[in-house]
Structure 1
């Protein structure tokens, strides 16, 4: 009798680790910065026979050495050329119709340094990225052409009417072998309302999988970008059509796990998994609020939430929130991911972090906990959980 393949491994390991994270930072202003360092985890207990003192899975590939680069910045979005290297967390490639809310370190045993480049030349704006600068993995680019600039010269309000073309390929040769896949997408965007504190735009696009007959998708939607001294707000709402296995946001928050095994019951990699034809509604909100118009990286409230509901009964959601309380002495951060909800084989992940600052804010105590999924050599995902407590010191808030 044929036995159905199990999608999740039942192996459970209990390991006690102590982690040290030396860090070196140079803040050179808005167009230069260096942040290097890496978490080094020493095994105190558990791990099985033959386990070394340093957790081997953190350093067993060339790509893992990329985790030393926490952030390396040259230029900025406002400069003609900008380059950034480090971990990619909730990264979207311009329009976001191929790469949206992607994190390159969702696999707990894979720690690459990614990077992206932005550049402007006349009416052409380009963004290119790689998920792993030391391995053949995700690579892509999007080219956006300012139509008004082409026909009438540089306008006061740039990029009001644009045409864009993007393409992304996963070579599947680092961070564990997985099927390669290529996607492309074309977009048109028009900013229809411009006010001092906000603007509204409309977008429409079409994409597909080159070489895969009948694999295509279409999208139409609207967005709002608003900004005041205390509030930054971005809203997106889109109606989508999927056909033949293509979908918008293919390289998303769950991709580093789904490339081995997509959510569902067939246990297949995402590149080969069946995806029903149908429609979906996608919404995204990003909110940054600060009560005192604080100009730093951290705010009293940061919220990022993306959700997609499909006509055939599936629901995906990815969100994260961080709040600062008691004069910024206490910070609480939550994040969660649900993929394939409403269908058999749904996938859930979550984590929380609490950080309490004292002695003027430079010293802090923290506690974290959450769930993980570890890809195995057999192509399944092994569930796990983590919890940690620690102390730290910094001078950047």
Structure 2
């Protein structure tokens, strides 16, 4: 398959251009009537699954052109979605005087959720809903809150699913035990804790990581640590950039870590004030990390089904460390209040034997303090044992079951992976109108079979009393026919209607990943469509 730019990307650019004529609401705030719960990549997250808008990639923002958390906020319902309070950032009332080309990949978490005013802001919700998760129907009770200070925020919550209808395999438990059968599951009680704001020199987040990108996203791109509905993780993302040196860090799970990545960077000429801006802000970076317990063999039955233990977890027979290493160079050629242009080059190695080269650029247009249009375009060449965006939105599933041939992703890579070197194209575009709209499109295509990715996200947080979120992700497909394969597609649609200032109703339809439960103990990872419909109360604390 020849690499080519997508028609969808071109259409998105035309749509974005049409939107630029709309007047910006000066001073608009994203807080509204208690709408702190994340939209498409935002919403109340049920224990471990795609949020109101699933992002996932993907990239939380995060993900994304900016190293950091992407895709909106998600509460355990997650898949490409972020956490409640995921985009807690100060409102911008003016354009940056010197642009932002020195940090083209700023860490970010989803959509604007709260505007941190003076002192502490507190809002909460109490919700009751009917929720289908896996094979059963539940009464879902969810109490949560968000507390925000000038430089910190945290979101405690108590999500409980009480079984109403029990399909095979039967269970005696009223509370869904898969939500609480691992130590890391108790991280659900704290949706997130963060210090600092995305875009500032220091930022730290613990909890659900909706769409984390490290560096330019060439090895870790829009990673979601809670995409598996039955496996919740509380991870860490940190970003430090005081000026000359800096770093960013990812840890997937504090309680049982597997994935770790760190990127350290240096602006060697930053102290030399007489030099042009582009030379002073030139950035050299090193990235290292890996999946240090990557499965290499999983137990299967004679028919190829994944064998599970009594808690419906896959039986991993062997693991191995999968290290990765990269060097990159970033040159901010243009940094103005209304536009940035930042070319970059990445040279990476995965699992020691595979290598790849990425050449791309970030292009950002700021039309006013509230409207921003961002592009990232990239050419990449992948060696025979190299896979770009190796740790991606679906990685938590792929590391155990990849491309449905019985192998794990690492086993597939070590068996030859794609088999030959190939060229590819990556493009993403995002239009953000603060407090009003966020539209993201990601497309990637490499030569060879099963090498096309498409992700889309639309967030409309303030359509009068209505909040709307849509998310779609399809990875590793081959052609139009394969594109419509529901088994490998993640999507979410959420609509919430606020009324009487304090109440709301919400409906969500989600197709997300799940290791199906069977009485025989033989399962497969597949996507399943679930729903959630309920009523909530907004509480101002």
Corresponding residue to 2:456 among 319, 340, 345? 319
Q: Which has the higher contact order (CA 8 A, sep 6+)?
A: 2
State the partner residue of 1:293: none
> What is the SS of the residue equivalent to 2:214?
coil
Counting only pairs closer than 5 Å after superposition, residues 244-393 of structure 1 correspond to structure 2 as 244-263=384-403, 265-273=404-412, 274-276=417-419, 277-290=421-434, 299-313=435-449, 314-324=451-461, 326-327=463-464, 329-342=465-478, 347-360=488-501, 362-375=502-515, 380-393=524-537
State the partner residue of 1:43: 163
> What is the SS of the residue equivalent to 2:397?
helix
Q: Assess if the C-alpha contact under 8 Å between 2:279 and 2:331 holds in 1.
A: no
> What is the SS of the residue equivalent to 1:171?
strand
State the partner residue of 1:120: 241
Cα distance in structure 2, aligned partners of 1:138 and 1:147: 30
Q: Deviations over 1:194-233 (max 9, x none)?
A: 22111101011110124x33x1100101111233223122
Q: Deviations over 1:167-191 (max 9, x none)?
A: 2211338986565422111110101
Cα distance in structure 2, aligned partners of 1:283 and 1:122: 29
Q: Assess if the C-alpha contact under 8 Å between 2:294 and 2:399 holds in 1.
A: no
Unpaired stretches in structure 2, ≥5 consecutive residues:
1-132, 296-312
TM-score, length basis structure 1: 0.85
Larger fraction in strand: 1
Q: How big is the alpha-carbon RMSD for the aligned residues of Structure 1 and Structure 2?
A: 2.7
State the partner residue of 2:119: none
> What is the SS of the residue equivalent to 1:67?
helix
Number of positions where the alignment pairs a residue of Structure 1 with one of Structure 2: 371
Cα distance in structure 2, aligned partners of 1:186 and 1:378: 42
**1:103 CA displacement:** 0.9
More displaced 10-residue stretch of structure 1: 369-378 or 41-50: 369-378
| 1:82–1:106 distance in 2 versus 1, CA, 3 Å | same
Q: Assess if the C-alpha contact under 8 Å between 1:260 and 1:375 holds in 2.
A: no
State the partner residue of 1:84: 205
Corresponding residue to 1:219 among 358, 367, 370? 358
> What is the SS of the residue equivalent to 1:57?
helix
Q: Deviations over 1:114-154 (max 9, x none)?
A: 11122235511111121111112211111111132165599
> What is the SS of the residue equivalent to 2:153?
strand
Unpaired stretches in structure 1, ≥5 consecutive residues:
1-11, 291-298
State the partner residue of 2:309: none
Q: Assess if the C-alpha contact under 8 Å between 2:357 and 2:380 holds in 1.
A: yes
| 1:231–1:66 distance in 2 versus 1, CA, 3 Å | same
**1:378 CA displacement:** 5.7
Query: Is structure 2 residue 171 aligned with structure 1 residue 34?
Result: no
State the partner residue of 2:298: none
Q: Deviations over 1:357-385 (max 9, x none)?
A: 1112x321100112222236767314422
More displaced 10-residue stretch of structure 1: 61-70 or 271-280: 271-280
| 1:157–1:393 distance in 2 versus 1, CA, 3 Å | farther
State the partner residue of 1:7: none
TM-score, length basis structure 2: 0.64
**1:51 CA displacement:** 3.6
Deviant stretches of 4+, over 4 Å? 77-80, 150-159, 173-179, 343-346, 376-379
